[in-house]
A and B are shown apart, each in its own frame.
Chain A
Amino acid sequence: MNKITVDVDNITIQFPKTKPFFGTIENSISSFLKLEATETDDFIALDGVSLQLFEGEIVGIIGKNGSGKSTLLRTISGIYNPDKGMVRTKGQISLLARLGIGFNVHLTGRENIYLYGSILGHTKKTMDGLIDEIINFSELALSIDKPLRTYSSGMKTRLSFSVASAVKSEILLIDEVLGVGDYDFREKSNIRMQEMVNDAATVVIVSHSLPVLEQMCSRLILIEDGKIRAIGEPKEIIEIYKSTSKLKAKGTDLTKLITKEKPKLSFVKKISHRLNLLSLLLLRIFRLSEWASSKLPAPKNTTNEKNEIIQNHWGEIFEAVPNTNFIIDKKSKKLTKKIPVEETKIRTMVILTCIWKRPKLTQIVLSNYKKLKEEVKEFLNLELVAVGSEGEKSKTICEENGFHYFEYENQPMSEKWNFGLLMTKKFNPDAVTIVGSDDIIDKQLLSFYNGKLNKGHLMLGIKDFYIYDSESQKLAYWRGYGKLNDAHRMDETIGLARCLSRPLLDKLNFNIWNDLDISRNLDGAMTTRLKEIGIYPTSEENIPYIKIDNQIYGAGHLGYKLKEIKGFAIDIKTKTNVTSFDRYLARDPDSIEYLDGEFLKSKLYDETIKEILELGDDE
């Protein structure tokens, strides 16, 4: 039997959530004014953990983010003192944590080797004896006398692994730094670890890379919410880990994970929102809101002017006779029957999106469309088109999910989108629906659009949408532009899921954003472009009709409320979003209604919900 090197005996570690008798001024003021209750309970990072590690084994620790893996490693290495229990170890411990820690970017690689070595507790003499070996192992001989700031992150990792593993230590703890660096180096470091194990050392690895752990470790430890859930054979533990993470999304109560309650806002944010609202209110009172949001007052065309533009571009205008299927020619007063556009035909609709970075989220969104395509087969032929800018990486993710992939540079966005729109022509679409790479729509919305396309409407869109914020884990419904926020845009649709029909696209030659060279407000640009050819935001009652190739079409930019048509469209916000969740709150807090997670169940695939919940705030 091998000897024990680490003995963790029933340890508990708590992290205080708030600071005793202090905290920030902001907290003190807000708790003083009773604006929000301050939490006093501690966060329990490790809860009664006991384990023993032996000589000559590689042990892996797995678990979700925040489950306590790193805290355990740090406690073993002596950084944190347990509040209860005891940690006993034997011999020298090396903790290999985040890359570049303890390095100084202005010193050379060689100087950093000595510096980092001494931080790990080694003498200069020891380091003198090891320096050649370390440089050799790191394969950095050529740049070892250059300052560290010239190193890539891979080079830094190589250097820190080389130093940390150079000195024989009885216990080597590695915290999520493997898998950086190229294949050769990874192989080499695996061999090095194996050697250390052969020398009767204990290696502990925290990682999310399950295949690596399965290959290297003799035992795995699964940690969940600060407790050890299972210890054993890698294969078994990985099975348990995988099954629990699935179970969690299916079995647990979504209402608990995503709550209806309004998120707590910090004092400063509250004040800034109030100020923002006040300024919006003032702008509105002085009728300056339009000026403030668009910088230039948009020309307000009268109905006559609008009609003139429509006539210039499309010819004759007709008016609908209320409650009938007839339209009336304004000049000759001749009645014509509204001819429905071939209803039986299954149309081809292209879903167009542009992707950039955020691989996890993109994967979720694209795979959702793949499923949607199958689901709507009976009434709609969906073609999926995506434009990406990251070469092979983007291509793989798209093609895996049944998207046709095209490559175009990311900036300016207007060109990228326009290129995508041009490409959709290849698929001979009857309509193109435009969605962002973080937007998901449902079958109900597509079926509704299909119906409206059958009635001959040229341009469709929605006015409200659902938002999920992965950072705060909040689900919300945004009711659309209101009197306070962007009153002048009240009739317009939002950029998400705008649907343009073929006759309109032909008229535009599949060009909307050409020669614009902009990266923001692409929806605004589209609205303007449509107005140029007489497609104005309007409602179904007032929509003017036109004739194209003897068919009657509704020439307007129609917006619907998801809540009324029972459709679903959701925007998934992550940290890197351009329009943050906060913006909606800041502009009009009443326009947001929080929902609980249960709502998602009826609207999204289980798999998708699970993936969204696991998104966390990584991206």
Chain B
Amino acid sequence: MGQSVKKLGLSELRNNHPKYNFLSGPYLIWKNLINYFPALSNFIQRDIRLKYRNSLFGFFWSLLEPLILSGVYYILFIVIVGKTEPEYPLWVIIGVITWTFFSKIMNGTIVALTRNAELIKQVYLPREIFAFSITISNLIIATSSFLVVIPFMIYLEIAPTSQLVMVPLGLVLVSSLGLGLGLMFSGLNTLNRDIEHLFRVITRAGLFLSPVMWTVKMLPESRQSMIEYLMLNPMVVPISMIRSGFDGTELGIDSFYIIYSVVFCLTCLILGSMIFKRSEATVVKYL
């Protein structure tokens, strides 16, 4: 018997659908990303190359878009508040770019499975590739958008300091939050498309609840007690970090809140990966 098994080569077969532990989600994703790196990089290239296809301004849209939006917010703010600090336009631009980045990856990841249903049903490849390619291509676009900050820094005579290191850290936090939430809910979205609409509304509303048009430092003395509630929003810390990174000012946020935000974002990513990997097999059948 043993001999015939060897002859038939049964021992060389590998199980196509091994059962994995729920906790091993992040590890599986990591392994798949390495194995399917060519696909990932091709998807990213495709996304970026096709993003501004057939447009006159092409790449400059990734600079123009935050500029125009910030212009509108700036005017709005001047109308409501009146006088502002000279750095205010810089803050708004950074806020807008970071928030756009966040909303694009979160909403993009949530629809990653439904938008790619045809491909998923026809070819096997790890489905997290779609989510990660959206995240990374948006990360590249956001990074290049930050180029628009340079003329403002020159005008305001702000020299980059060693605090610039907070920019990539902030972006990592934003990415893991957006990607984590996206992974968590993209499976559910294949069952019911209400999820994607819900999250689109959440990102719209979140724009005002996050320090995009305002900064934590703007909070008047009398309202300092509200800071506890404000800090529940995990996006407050990363946005503030990126701002401080550029303008070199003190972060001015209690380290407790920083730890909270970091833990929140990373937990989201890890938990999201686990949920995604666990629900993947079931969810594909609903596509």
Contact = CB atoms under 8 A, between A and B. Distances in A.
A124 B16 contact: no
B16 A78 contact: yes
A104 B46 contact: yes
B55 interface: no
Interface residue tally of chain B, by bracket?
35 or more
A403 B50 CA distance: 53
Contacts of A1: 7-8
A589 to B, nearest CB: 31
A444 interface: no
A544 B193 CA distance: 66
Contact of B13 (A4, A111, A120): A4
B120 interface: yes
B204 interface: no
Interface residue tally of chain A, by bracket?
35 or more
B196 to A, nearest CB: 13
Contacts of B9: 3-5, 90
A93 B125 CA distance: 11
Interface string B22-61: 0000000000000111110111001001100100000000
B120 A119 contact: no
B284 interface: yes
Interface in A73-121: 74-82, 86-90, 93, 95, 97-98, 101-102, 104, 106-107, 111, 114-115, 117-121
Nearest to A77: B124
Contact of B123 (A20, A86, A97): A97
Interface string B1-25: 0000001111011111100000000
A16 interface: yes
B192 interface: yes
A23 to B, nearest CB: 7
A95 B122 contact: yes
Contacts of A15: 285
A520 to B, nearest CB: 35
B8 A4 contact: yes
B17 A87 contact: yes
Contacts of A4: 8-10, 13
A7 B13 contact: yes
Contacts of A16: 285-286
Interface string A117-139: 11111111001000000000000
A512 B266 CA distance: 78
A124 B13 contact: no
B38 A74 contact: no
B125 A119 contact: yes
* Chain B binding surface, main DSSP class: helix
B123 A88 contact: no
A286 interface: no
A98 B37 CA distance: 24
Nearest to B124: A78
B118 interface: yes
Nearest to A101: B122
Contacts of B50: 104, 106-107
A22 interface: yes
A230 to B, nearest CB: 23
Contact of B12 (A3, A78, A117, A124): A3
B245 to A, nearest CB: 34
A97 B285 CA distance: 17
B98 to A, nearest CB: 29
Of listed A16, A79, A122, A175, residue having the most chain B CB within 10 A: A79
B79 to A, nearest CB: 40
Nearest to B282: A81
A195 B35 CA distance: 28
Interface in A13-63: 15-16, 19-20, 22-23
A5 B7 CA distance: 12
B156 interface: no
Contact of B281 (A81, A90, A97, A98): A81
A118 B38 contact: yes
Given A19-B286, A115-B46, A88 B14 contact: yes
Interface in B163-185: none
B124 A95 contact: yes
A104 B49 CA distance: 12
A86 B123 CA distance: 19
B120 A79 contact: yes
29 contacts: A1-B7, A4-B9, A5-B9, A5-B13, A20-B191, A22-B192, A22-B194, A74-B122, A75-B16, A78-B124, A80-B281, A81-B284, A82-B17, A86-B16, A86-B17, A88-B13, A89-B14, A90-B14, A95-B122, A95-B124, A101-B122, A104-B50, A115-B42, A117-B38, A119-B39, A119-B119, A121-B36, A121-B38, A175-B122
4 interchain residue pairs of minimum CB distance? A3-B9, A22-B192, A88-B13, A81-B281
Interface of A: 1, 3-5, 7, 15-16, 19-20, 22-23, 74-82, 86-90, 93, 95, 97-98, 101-102, 104, 106-107, 111, 114-115, 117-124, 127, 175
Given A75-B16, A90-B13, 8 more contacts: A4-B13, A76-B16, A90-B14, A106-B53, A114-B42, A119-B119, A121-B36, A127-B38
